[in-house]
Structure 1
Amino acid sequence: MSMLAPTTIAIVKSTAPILEAHGETLTRHFYSRMFAHNPEVMPLFNRANQTAGAQQRALAAAITAYAANIDNLEVLGGAVELIAQKHASLMIKPEHYPIVGENLLASIREVLGAGATDEVIDAWAQAYGFLADILTGREKQIYRENAQRPGGWEGFKAFRVDRKVRESANITSFYLVPAAGDGTLPLFRPGQYTTVRVPTADGSTTMRNYSLSDKPGQPWLRISVKREEGPEADLPSGYVSNFLHDRVDVGGEIALAPPCGEFFLDVTEKHPRQLVLLAAGIGITPILSMLLTALEAMPERDIVLIHGSLHEDVQAFKPTLDELARSHPRLSVHYRYSDPQRTDPARSGNASTGLIDAALIESFVPERDADYYFCGPQPFMINIYHELLTWGIPPGQVHFEFFGPRQSLQSRPAPADAPKAG
């Protein structure tokens, strides 16, 4: 893989301001063009995110960041790993990259007009090819690692629902075992996700990522799915979650991809710092996997878990967490409920009303020096990220699963935008 020429780097970098200004227009045009010219790739994309504009915003942010940092790609290392893991979870292969590249370059030319000179298009073609080589190389490694791991596989594999357990008013767990009867399962990293593929009414398929909510080493893979609601133009928002809740029963089969994801707890790291696990709503799923693993692999470590929910009716795994707190003296569990009208903190000595904020976290971690893992709705994530940034917590001690453009983390929402986790 050859490096980019200095002139190419300079040209691409010079386009960053215009891409920042017109990024979403460009990416909307790109997706529309690609789906019209290459409809075969549509099942690889989340149509709900397309309709909501999330996919377009995420791609616009990624393109702008790539252009702005093309002379210092080391700063994008984390983003490259995140993209490669996501691509591997969706079975993106090398043959898909030319399709994306052709449509992206055509959209740059069509949207930017006179600004898209032959020189600019040629520079972006080289830059895209360079990035594609990096991603396909890493994705090839991920595919190989997943296939060679004991119990691993490549592609989608049929799994049977062994148990279906209602965890709350809107969350159900699915215990999944290989349909072929081979009980061997890969030792995934706690915090990772799997990809579920289901059929759609038009004869196609659609996919969603779901965190694995149990610890590695069990004779099943467990996903815990929140029923999502809301309309969408061509595929109902929450289609997959409702499909799983309503149409997949015990004995039914679904297709799973191997576990992927760069958000995980590394149990090989041994140090005395507290482990702080923060979750809001359905964000508890990867956090619970981490907690169950840490309690076994790090019995000497002090652990704090704070789970924010709207109220107890929609809170998953409370009995599990209560039992873990009773049986592990080094574990502190606290519940934060944001709907005081439907919450009675007096029923439990480890609950309060409000939102998860710096004051609550500091009451459990007065020294602040800890390893933080957090997952939940975007406003919750942004607030926690900025609190830890304000505290000066080193980046190596801050870990999160963020759904959406990472650039969104940079703008803190006003208090009125604070989340009410469901």
Structure 2
Amino acid sequence: MLSEQSAATVRATLPAVGAAIGEITERFYARLFDARPELLRDLFNRGNQAAGTQRQALAGSIAAFATHLVEHPDDRPDAMLRRIAHKHASLGVAPEQYELVRVHLFAAIAEVLGEAVTPEVAAAWDEVYWLMANALTSIEQRLYEESADHLGGRPWEVVGRIEETADVIVLELRPADGGTVPAHLPGQYVSVQVTLEDGARQIRQYSLVDAPGPSVRRIAVKRVHEGAGPLGEVSNHLHARVRVGDRLLLSAPYGDLVLDRDTDAPLLLASAGIGVTPMIAMLEQLALSGHTAPVTVVHGDRSPAGHALRADQERFAAKLPDAAVHFWYEHPEPGHPADRTGLVDLAGLDVPAGTRAYLCGPLPFMRAVRAQLIGKGVAPADIHYEVFGPDLWLAAAQD
């Protein structure tokens, strides 16, 4: 809980800090990487840094957390904190790193806001920072205690490689030590660490595309073509260089967009592009558990040829007693229904009362689908989403 004195100060200074938060986070990362260049090489996503999306996500999370504290002083934004904590845990973030972040973040605040950062203002925002940092540390510690292993602790051997589409491969992995495969929840992801040609050890997250229980893990990797430099460097490395017999370092499973396996509610699984991956694990689990309530599967893609894991979607949906599959394509094959051409549009779909929805895909897709679902009577609390990469939903909410 934020103290009354600090709450008043934060409320008064939030507009100024919010207006400058983009410049603050830019200077923060510049200071951090000047002091600790190995963090950019071996921990932070160089592609997201080059694109500026990580700065936007950090700015959005800070502004959202502070706004929540002053508007709801007796609680905290648990959903946002869990999402961030799962991502941090998948990267192996340690408690001591929060003090390092604080040093450079507050130096950046002082640089940008200058004399406006009085001792009272600094103390109030320091309280905000540690409320957020301590909450994240607490969640991350529980996640580490629950996991059987985490990043850097276990090599996995590639035992299968499937060319799913021209730009998507599926890698099948087994623990190189011959041990057991730790349990995961449908919808979770693992971090994969690779060593690139320049020696950088970069980390990316990939959804598990199996229901819990198999002797191997399967991940789907979409090759990122955009631009040069660090964008797509890990996906291109995995496509070009990783073959059966190679080894990769995998974290324990993380991620809070997980299927409630005990629910008997109607479900809607909506995805676009490579966002289909967590939905496959959910569909398989529903098929295995004999889910009897209606399940609506919605997916949008550029073309049928680029639609990864379509056969899995159709196969698992066919095993459910009450499931419907709806695919939209921007560039369909001849004969594809006209009302399923273009972007996903739920206007013509029946969404049963009490539906719980899970979304994964590009941010514009998820925002559009969420709005349509709310328009059809789905409660906002029953709509759950996963963002691949930095969570720009929060950043957009602060614009």
TM-score bucket of the superposed structures, by smaller chain:
over 0.9
Aligned residue-pair number: 394
Counterpart residue identity of residue 394, structure 2: Q
Could you say which residue in structure 1 is the equivalent of 2:282?
A: 290
Matches within 5 A, 1:17-416: 17-42=15-40, 43-71=42-70, 72=72, 74=75, 76-147=77-148, 152=149, 155-182=152-179, 184-232=180-228, 235-269=229-263, 271=264, 273-340=265-332, 343-346=333-336, 352-360=340-348, 363-365=349-351, 367=352, 369-403=354-388, 404-407=391-394, 410=397
Could you say which residue in structure 2 is the equivalent of 1:419?
A: none
Q: Deviations over 1:103-146 (max 9, x none)?
A: 00100001111211222122222322232221111111000001
Q: Which runs of no fewer than 5 residues in structure 1 stay unpaired?
A: 413-422
Partner Cα separation in structure 1 for residue 28 and residue 102 of structure 2: 10
Mark the CA change 1:309 to 1:227 in structure 2 (over 3 Å): closer, same or farther. same
Partner Cα separation in structure 2 for residue 76 and residue 327 of structure 1: 38
Partner Cα separation in structure 2 for residue 268 and residue 104 of structure 1: 42
Partner Cα separation in structure 1 for residue 33 and residue 27 of structure 2: 10
Q: Deviations over 1:352-409 (max 9, x none)?
A: 322211214xx243x4541111111111111112212333421332111134323356
Counterpart residue identity of residue 38, structure 1: R
1:16 to 14, 24, 28: 14
Percent of aligned positions with the same letter in both sequences? 37
Mark the CA change 1:94 to 1:411 in structure 2 (over 3 Å): closer, same or farther. closer
* Alpha-carbon contact 2:188-2:255 (below 8 Å) kept: yes
Q: What is the TM-score with the length of structure 2 in the denominator?
A: 0.93
Structure 1 residue 174, shift from structure 2 partner: 0.3
Counterpart residue identity of residue 374, structure 1: L
Counterpart residue identity of residue 341, structure 2: T
Structure 1 residue 199, shift from structure 2 partner: 1.0
Which 4+ stretches in 1 moved above 4 angstroms? 152-155, 408-412
* Alpha-carbon contact 2:357-2:382 (below 8 Å) kept: yes
Counterpart residue identity of residue 274, structure 1: P
Mark the CA change 1:248 to 1:393 in structure 2 (over 3 Å): closer, same or farther. same
Counterpart residue identity of residue 176, structure 1: L
Structure 1 residue 223, shift from structure 2 partner: 0.5
Q: Which runs of no fewer than 5 residues in structure 2 stay unpaired?
A: none
Partner Cα separation in structure 2 for residue 261 and residue 255 of structure 1: 18
More divergent stretch after superposition (106-115 vs 34-43):
34-43
Partner Cα separation in structure 1 for residue 319 and residue 133 of structure 2: 49
Q: Deviations over 1:330-366 (max 9, x none)?
A: 22222211114xx2245xx899322211214xx243x
Counterpart residue identity of residue 143, structure 1: Y
Q: What is the TM-score with the length of structure 1 in the denominator?
A: 0.88
* Alpha-carbon contact 2:162-2:169 (below 8 Å) kept: yes
SS of residue matched to 2:213: coil
SS of residue matched to 1:94: coil
Partner Cα separation in structure 2 for residue 409 and residue 393 of structure 1: 22
* Alpha-carbon contact 1:336-1:356 (below 8 Å) kept: yes
Partner Cα separation in structure 2 for residue 320 and residue 134 of structure 1: 38
Structure 1 residue 61, shift from structure 2 partner: 1.1
Partner Cα separation in structure 1 for residue 234 and residue 184 of structure 2: 23
Mark the CA change 1:36 to 1:95 in structure 2 (over 3 Å): closer, same or farther. same
Mark the CA change 1:61 to 1:410 in structure 2 (over 3 Å): closer, same or farther. closer
